[in-house]
Amino acid sequence: MADADVAVHMALTRQPATGRRGIPADGAAPRGRRVATLVMAVLVTLSFLLGLAQKSACQQIQWDIGKHGVPASVLHDGTCYTDIPVLYRSTFAHGQLPYAQPRLTRADGSAEYLEYPVLTGVVMYAAAAVTRAFGDDDDAAEAVRYYLINVGLLWLLALLTGWTIIALSPAGRVWDALFFAVAPSLAYNGTSNWDLLPVACTGVALVAWQRHRLTWTGVLLGLGAAAKLYPILVLGPLLVLGLRAGRFREVLRTAAVALLTAALVYLPFVLFAPGWSYFFTMNSGRGPDFGSVWLLLANRGVHVPNLNAVTLALFLALCLAIAVLGLRAQTRPRLIQLVLLVMLAFLLTNKVYSVQYVLWLVPLLVLAHPVARHVLPWLGIELLYWQSVWNVMSTGAGDTAQRYYEAATALHLLGLVWIAALVVRDVLRPQRDKVRLALAADPAAADPDAVLTAG
């Protein structure tokens, strides 16, 4: 057996060292892990400061287009648009209750509610309540204050996400978290929306899984799903690997807790707030949108009928292929590899790829395939796509901007396929998986998949 194969075999057959209460011991030198955490925190902070500077042009006009008499496209010219202050003015400035009160009533009598899952709405409302408590009845000034309050919250969530990457990494890979900390996507998209909330929930859920806290894994995935639907997709890979490892009962329990948690979060809104389902109805009714292959086709005159059914069928077909890979690969794949593949399948088939969705992928990629010559070019591709979106929406955008956007979108989609191919290759040839080899080299490390092998 080759040396690399021996290392992989050791990683698969070793029993994790356990500490108090059965929690796997951390094999990394505590000081080295603490230093990596400190450096990560500093770099995440610098990324957020860069993001603040990048959005300063819009902050100076308080994201208040009407007041300053400039066209909305000025936000796109400066690439400094963010949903946060705009949603404050349209939804929270006067104490509106999300989901219970519409933010807009159309001419036909239909109502438009907050278009976010309910846990994100609760966080948004809580930040708005703090904003109004120190308010001055100037909606534009309050919108800036609301933005800054949320920047602080999102910064903490980014720090938490970076910590989860370090916690899930073996001793030899703790510095991989710096890919996340310095990613341009974190600086430019971290405060575009609230997506770091479900990202952090997913990361902490995976840490709980690593530490054999199955109930907490389910709770955190359920909370993440109540903030943005995608964390619930983690359950698919869990079920596949649980079936393969003969640990299906434990995984089923985790899945049940996740679904129950999400249901309990939604329950009061279902009972008392008519707008709780607006997120689902809006997304069901939307057509091809930014970043999707469907919009590229539509721009070429190819309109796919029954698009919801087509996207769902393609996503399920890809999930089936990933399940077969997880069950049939000679070496059991790592959980994070299958999770990343499912997320890529979802985003490749989805009707929209908003610029902040890249934040879903960066931590997963860092944990699944932390190879600089692949991660860095992909981050560059995503930065190019981000810029092309604002370019095509900017003042005087014409045919050149449209062609640039379509080329960047095609490159972005190919980039997602490329990353998926690299991860599949690592699954089929585990001797090339840098994280698996690092786990084998550190027998005392906490294996993120130890639940699947524990007796």
Residue 383: is its pLDDT beyond 80? yes
- Residue 30, pLDDT score: 76
* Residue 398 structure tokens: 């014409």
Residue 7: is its pLDDT beyond 60? no
Please, what is the end-to-end C-alpha distance for the chain in angstroms? 27
**Which of 126-135, 251-260, 436-445 is least confident?**
436-445
Interatomic CA distance for residues 67 and 54, integer angstroms: 22
Residue 8: is its pLDDT beyond 50? no
Q: What are phi and psi of 83, to 5 degrees?
A: -70, -25
Over residues 50-94, the pLDDT tens digits come to: 999 999 888 888 887 656 555 666 677 778 889 999 899 888 988
* Residue 250 structure tokens: 């434990």
Confidence of residue 138 (pLDDT cuts 50, 70, 90): confident
**CB within 8 Å of 19: residues ≥ 6 apart:** 25
- Residue 65, pLDDT score: 64
- Residue 395, pLDDT score: 67
Interatomic CA distance for residues 299 and 282, integer angstroms: 22
% helix, strand, coil for the chain, step of 5: 70, 0, 25
Cα dihedral 233→237→242→244 (10° resolution): 150
Interatomic CA distance for residues 110 and 98, integer angstroms: 16
Confidence of residue 19 (pLDDT cuts 50, 70, 90): very low
CB 347 within 8 A of CB 165: no
Over residues 237-275, the pLDDT tens digits come to: 999 999 999 999 999 999 999 999 999 999 999 999 999
Interatomic CA distance for residues 350 and 103, integer angstroms: 27
- Residue 17, pLDDT score: 42
Interatomic CA distance for residues 377 and 372, integer angstroms: 8
- Residue 69, pLDDT score: 56
169 closest CA partner among 181, 159, 177, 158? 177
- Residue 18, pLDDT score: 44
Average pLDDT on 171-175 reads: 90
Over residues 103-129, the pLDDT tens digits come to: 888 877 788 999 999 999 999 999 999
CB 317 within 8 A of CB 156: no
- Residue 73, pLDDT score: 66
* Residue 185 structure tokens: 């996507």
**CB within 8 Å of 193: residues ≥ 6 apart:** 82, 83, 84, 354, 356
Please state, rounded to an integer, the average pLDDT across all residues of the chain: 89
Name residue 24's beta-bridge partners. Answer: 18
Average pLDDT on 213-232 reads: 96
* Residue 20 DSSP symbol: G
CB 363 within 8 A of CB 356: no
Confidence of residue 375 (pLDDT cuts 50, 70, 90): very high
CB 295 within 8 A of CB 409: yes
**CB within 8 Å of 398: residues ≥ 6 apart:** none
- Separation of CA 268 from chain center: 26
Residue 411: is its pLDDT beyond 90? yes
Average pLDDT on 8-36 reads: 54
- Residue 96, pLDDT score: 84
Interatomic CA distance for residues 221 and 202, integer angstroms: 6
Residue 11: is its pLDDT beyond 70? no
**Host H or E run for residue 409:** helix 399-428
Over residues 333-350, the pLDDT tens digits come to: 999 999 999 999 999 999
- Higher-confidence residue of 323 and 399: namely 323
- Residue 71, pLDDT score: 62
222 closest CA partner among 212, 238, 233? 233
- Higher-confidence residue of 4 and 259: namely 259
Residue 330 vs residues 185, 319, 320: alpha-carbon distances, Å: 35, 19, 18
Residue 23: is its pLDDT beyond 50? no
Hey, is 424 helix, strand or coil? Answer: helix
129 closest CA partner among 92, 157, 164? 92
- Separation of CA 439 from chain center: 25
Interatomic CA distance for residues 18 and 444, integer angstroms: 8
- Separation of CA 171 from chain center: 25
Neighbour-count burial of 185, counting CB atoms closer than 10 A to its CB (0-12 exposed, 13-18 middle, 19+ buried) = buried
* Residue 54 structure tokens: 């990048």
* Residue 112 structure tokens: 């438009």
201 closest CA partner among 119, 257, 302, 94? 119
- Residue 70, pLDDT score: 59
